[in-house]
Structure 1
């Protein structure tokens, strides 16, 4: 559980870095959308996993 509590904020940091890269024109809008949507899916999966673990404890 400790790892997941560290991983979640780290994912949010990555999402912010993706936005910064897009705003600074390092990546295209298509790249931004693909990467950001993948990170959002990972966020949903992690939150669901954390919720399931908490329900079992």
Structure 2
């Protein structure tokens, strides 16, 4: 880690829960695949984005 960014990483580690972070990364991977047509045949990109944001926030 570049020493210039250490303070940013320390601050972020206090704010973001590790398990929530892993969950969000998993959701990003899932919705990336859906946006490319895997497991999704009818949802628009806008609908996918709304669903992703909802799942991240709740």
* Coarse TM-score class (shorter-chain normalised): 0.3 to 0.5
Q: Which structure features the higher share of helix residues?
A: 1
Larger Rg: 2
Q: Output the TM-score relative to the length of structure 1.
A: 0.46
> Relative contact order (alpha carbons < 8 A, sep ≥ 6): 1 or 2 greater?
1
